[in-house]
Amino acid sequence: MDAQKEALRRIISTLANKNEELQNFLEAVDHTLTGLQEESCKVMSDLEAELEKLNSALEEKGAELRYIIKEEKQRKEAELQKQLSEGKFALVSCEELLDFANQTLTINTEEEFLAAAKQIKERVTMAPAFRLTTRPAVSDNMSQFTVDFSAERAGLQRLHFLPVPRAPQIDASSCVVRDNTIMVTWRPPGEADSGGDSSSRPIERYELEYRKTDRDSTLRVAGEGSWEKVCDIIEPQVTISGLKFDSRFIAIRVRARNKAAAGEFSEPIAIETTAYNFSFDASTAHAELKVQGDMVTWEPQGVKGHDPRLRGKENKSSSRSATPSPNKTAASRGGRDRFAGESYTVLGDQEMTNGCHYWELRPLADWKSFSVGVAYRGSLGRFDQLGKGTGSWCLHASQWLQSSLAAKHNNRAKTLDWPLPQRIGIYCDYDNGDLLFIDVDRLRLLHAFKTKFSQPLVPAFTVWCGGITIATGLQVPSFMGNFLTTNRSLSSLSP
């Protein structure tokens, strides 16, 4: 029986592997089919665009040549019309003079004959016919405007699709991961990619695709996201910014494109993108805190308990004290228990036990009061507030009645003389006991705690009136190096 079960388990494992392999294959084929349809439409569109450009160029050149021929024709016609007019006038004058000369020959008196002959001589000297050239001013030759497109026709007949560029090669050693950006560098395809074809064109642009994965293998598995695209890259490098590193790796591939053809993608590489990721642990949130993704808001169920006058009356009539009773200490509070009373608190769902961590907080527009920091999960009772005990450290901001900013720990507070920040960076180095709060917009260190952490830490937040959002999946930013090296001597609250 056991042997048969083990054999069945092996068969199930083989089928599971084959099932995953087939899923990957089908997704790859589907992706290729989609790419083929997109590429064929693009190539067809590019072809129509090129033909339109070619037709436009021919029309433009034809209009230019027609204009030149028309101008030359009009110029020559004007010259010939002028000569024609002058010649007709000279002919009429010559005919009149000839008639007058013939009539003079019939004169018998010497005196009249000599006078007429003298007049004819003078008129002949000034006659237009003897000043007019009898050679046309221009020729009828227009052969210099004969157009020969035989070479162009032959070139058009030799038109063919450009050769497909080879795949570039990503230079993994030159890729840089910093401040939640990835700078990717690759080596362009060599000159040999053209295959010696004189009709080839150089690479015009590149296309990069990336997707997040939790495996160092670049093969896509079921459930992982699809490829995201970065198009129209000119240089053989690109910086992908604004990333949230909520996976262990990012797979990247790139391909080259010439005038109209896109080549194959390069072999994908997996770049490690480790960062601190956490979410709000909704099971710990106070009943009047609403958790939605990376946002938490204070939504009171009524004014009772929030109006100081009503709260005072209730406290007198209530048998429950705001001070935690022995059976509600942190040690006995299970993870399923929410914060209660005036502890409008919610914790993060990922512990910190070593290493460096960083996340950011932004208050919403209508905020009145919030606290942000870290705490030992086991040290907070349901009614405990951040910074009141030895197991929590926080930055408290308020603009209720008046603006204030303070660092709190072990029921001690240090007032901070700085405008209320709109973007707070929290840096925790568990091993070295450093907890820093940064005004990210102004790059100012607000406060630094120096201690020795002895238990697992979780991010902790208190919200009253308004709300906050958090940004996780962030690397420790490069600007933290300046604070860590130059602010070690700043005063801080001791545990």
| Lowest mean per-residue pLDDT among 33-47, 65-79, 196-210 | 196-210
Q: What mean pLDDT is predicted for residues 275-285?
A: 95
Residue keyed to tokens 């000279």: 90
pLDDT for 141 equals 84
Residue of higher predicted confidence among 442 and 105: 442
Whether 217 has a pLDDT exceeding 70, the answer reads no
Residue of higher predicted confidence among 126 and 6: 6
DSSP 440-481: TTTTEEEEEEE----S-EEEEEEEESEEEEEE-SBPPPTTHH
Whether 371 has a pLDDT exceeding 50, the answer reads yes
| Residue 363 per-residue DSSP state | E
Question: pLDDT tens across 62-105, in order?
Answer: 899 899 899 989 998 998 898 888 888 888 888 888 888 888 88
**Residue 329: its H or E element:** none
CB 372 within 8 A of CB 419: no
pLDDT for 92 equals 86
Sign of the four-CA dihedral 318, 324, 326, 330: positive
The one-letter amino acid code at 382 reads: R
Considering 154-158, 260-264, 387-391, the range whose residues carry the highest mean pLDDT is 387-391
CB 170 within 8 A of CB 131: no
pLDDT band, very low/low/confident/very high, at 434 (cuts 50, 70, 90): very high
Mean pLDDT of the chain: 84
Q: Where in the chain is the domain with CATH 2.60.40.10?
A: 169-190+204-272
Calculate what percentage of the chain has a pLDDT beyond 70: 86
* Topology at the third CATH level for domain 169-190+204-272: Immunoglobulin-like (2.60.40)
Q: What mean pLDDT is predicted for residues 2-30?
A: 87
DSSP 62-99: HHHHHHHHHHHHHHHHHHHHHHHHHHHHHHHHHHHHHH
Residues 6+ positions from 471 with CB-CB distance below 8 Å: 244, 294, 359, 360, 361, 362
Residue keyed to tokens 């545990």: 495
Locate 202 and state its tokens. 């150089």
450, β-bridge pairs = 434
Nearest to 479 by CA among 173, 175, 176, 180: 180
Q: Which CATH number fits domain 289-300+337-492: 1.10.3720.10, 3.30.465.10, 2.60.120.920, 2.30.110.10?
A: 2.60.120.920
**Beta strands, E only, 354-465:** 356-363, 369-376, 392-398, 404-409, 412-415, 424-429, 434-439, 444-450, 457-464
Q: What mean pLDDT is predicted for residues 417-445?
A: 95
Q: Is the pTM of this model over 0.75?
A: no
pLDDT band, very low/low/confident/very high, at 260 (cuts 50, 70, 90): low
pLDDT for 181 equals 95
Give the ranges where 290-329 is alpha helix by DSSP (H).
308-317
Count of helix runs (H) and strand runs (E) in the chain:
5, 22
Q: Where in the chain is the domain with CATH 2.60.120.920?
A: 289-300+337-492
Instruction: Find how far residue 470's CA is from the centre of its chain.
Output: 23
- Cα–Cα distances in Å, from 6 out to 3, 9, 11, 13? 5, 5, 9, 10
pLDDT for 449 equals 95
| Lowest mean per-residue pLDDT among 133-137, 242-246, 302-306, 410-414 | 302-306
Q: What mean pLDDT is predicted for residues 235-240?
A: 95
Residues in the chain: 495
Whether 191 has a pLDDT exceeding 70, the answer reads no
243 — phi, psi (to 5°)? -85, 150
